[in-house]
Structure 1
């Protein structure tokens, strides 16, 4: 089973396989990325008219697909058939087995399976893994996304500051499709070779470099109450873009990592970064916070955060606004 980087590299070198079987049970971005690249680059615009077909699983049968796949290309080296929404064909997929064993070498047949998991016990699954380019994507964890952003930009000739990556993840979560679209916007307006900074993120995407959860946890970590209160006030005035549930999750994650930092024997930048699952650049934030919050204080902070989480969900809240809940939490955390 190949990873998406090697698949894209082969496509760039025009090393094609007769069958690509792409599966995305929870994360579908890479499925679309590979299929779109095949659709856009294998054939010229003139060749596509007679040699490229986009099918949808709900509208065709396996026999229909195989019938088209066995046709020879017209005035081109390849035929390209992309079957989107192929999860609709799961019940009859076993009938594809004989074609998988002897595919038409001049055809590039692509199946896009989304929001479904393949049954590894099926004969066709075993055949696809052996004979085809079988790719099954798994979602990235939040702490893996900044590295993915950096690698994606590097491949296009750009670099990005660690804080800028964190801003994107905080604002867009681990939705790779949304992040990729924002990265494309940046690449359209910035010359190749540019370093993407927090200021450029703020200017071109509209995410504040000063008023976000990343800056809030940083201010709390050094007990800068004035700055933390300013950020929380900004959140209360822009609650749609700063829901309390995300702020609480970020704070809970920060203090849990701080507890782990306290317990580390090797607190060097690289070792701590690996242990905490953060960019080594941010280890200093935990080092500073460890001077302000002992293990006992960090544990108490987690208890306070969970209490606010429950109140934010309506448990014993007495209708306190989310902004006031956060302001109250800051006082308890930092005094």
Structure 2
């Protein structure tokens, strides 16, 4: 059975919390992807109506409290309300100072939590599952545990399509979703902001197309980087150099812009490397798509076409070129920004 993606886990957790049915007394949200954790925290906060929050809602930061104080609040009963909510951010920091007590104090609470309190623990990490606390959190049916890893770059277009449909009740052309993912990168908060912008300004009856993304979200430079990427993956050196000259002439191409473009190409070639790696293992096209968890056939076919232009054996050379360009842009070299950029394209295309 394939491992659930962070996107699927978020949907599962959101349905559980949003519906406020079968709510668990303890939630443990962790992992690299803060966007999902923040959204679920906002939903859990809604368990207590605004006019009841003064006495029944606590947001605590681990570095500013200790286990005894948190547990004292969690064990207390709500005041003139159905439930209280206690949220602890940076949970593991509660136990960093010996004088503040031990996180093991939570073991007894987890075994017998206050039924009128929802305790939400949030961190980037999970306690060591070999410890008493880790075992109790991991195995207790009173705890809902969700780990949100960073969404892989190759799944971003799928996330954009889902988010547009479920949050904004709109449809986005898969090609437009891919362009937005490549332009904005893996920051889900930024992507959600850009989508909100696009959905606000595009007529509700219209499907969101590439031209809308170009007009509302992207600058001239951003969109031409997409065109440059197409020339690079098609290994058309003359076209790539022509587009790059336009970009360099149109903008004051600073070191910061070069580094941003390098980050963009790093994402592109990470996606290509993933497909090449799995193909080299002997997986079929359908198996690769399933392994990567890309639901949109359009998006996967576009990435498959790009990867078909390269061999796995070329990837070390390409990543070395990107690393060299990054070091040069940051001052470890004598080339100017234009030369760094043009040399990179020649090295990638070969």
TM-score normalised by the chain length of structure 1: 0.79
Distance in 1 of aligned mates of 2:66 and 2:315: 57
Q: Distance in 1 between matches of 2:113 and 2:49?
A: 23
- Taking a change above 3 Å as real, the CA distance of residues 73 and 191 of structure 1, as seen in their structure-2 partners, is farther
**What is the RMSD of the two structures over their aligned residues, measured on CA atoms?**
3.8
Aligned with residue 78 of structure 1, among 83, 87, 90: 83
Tell me the equivalent position of 1:323: 338
Match of residue 58 from structure 1:
63
User: Whole-Å Cα distance in 2 between the matches of residues 125 and 99 of structure 1?
Assistant: 13
Listed as ranges, the matches of 1:256-267 within 5 Å are 256=273
Aligned to 1:11: 17
Q: Which secondary structure does the structure 2 equivalent of 1:196 belong to?
A: coil
> Is the CA contact (8 Å cut-off) linking 2:182 and 2:264 kept in structure 1?
no
Asked if residue 164 in structure 1 is aligned to residue 179 in structure 2, the reply is no
Q: 1:222 to 1:135 in 2, by over 3 A?
A: closer
Residues 70 and 104, structure 1, Cα contact 8 Å, conserved in 2: yes
SS across alignment from 1:149:
helix
Counterparts in 2 of 1:320 and 1:122: CA distance versus 1, 3 Å: same
**Shift in CA distance, 65/250, structure 1 to aligned 2, threshold 3 Å:** closer
User: 2:42 corresponds to which residue?
Assistant: 36
Q: The residue matched to 1:133 in structure 2 has which SS?
A: strand
Q: Is the 8 A contact 1:162 1:281 kept in 2?
A: yes
Give runs of aligned pairs for residues 1-335 of structure 1, distance below 5 A: 3-15=9-21, 16-24=23-31, 26-39=32-45, 41-91=46-96, 92-114=102-124, 116-129=125-138, 130=140, 131-156=142-167, 157-190=169-202, 194-208=206-220, 211-222=223-234, 224-225=236-237, 227-236=239-248, 237=251, 238-239=253-254, 240-243=256-259, 244-246=261-263, 248-249=265-266, 252-253=269-270, 256=273, 280-281=297-298, 283=301, 287=305, 303=317, 306-307=320-321, 309-310=323-324, 313-314=327-328, 319-328=334-343, 330=345
Structure 1 residues 55 and 219 mapped into 2: Cα distance closer, same or farther (>3 Å)? Answer: same
Q: TM-score under structure 2 normalisation? A: 0.76
Q: Which runs of 5+ in 2 are unaligned?
A: 97-101
Q: Shift of the alpha carbon at 1:230?
A: 3.7
- How much has 1:196 moved relative to structure 2? 2.6
Q: Which runs of 5+ in 1 are unaligned?
A: none
Q: 1 CA distance for matches of 2:20 and 2:302?
A: 45
The aligned length equals 326
Deviations 1:222-278 (A, max 9, x none): 45555423431244334434535335535645775786799798987x567557887
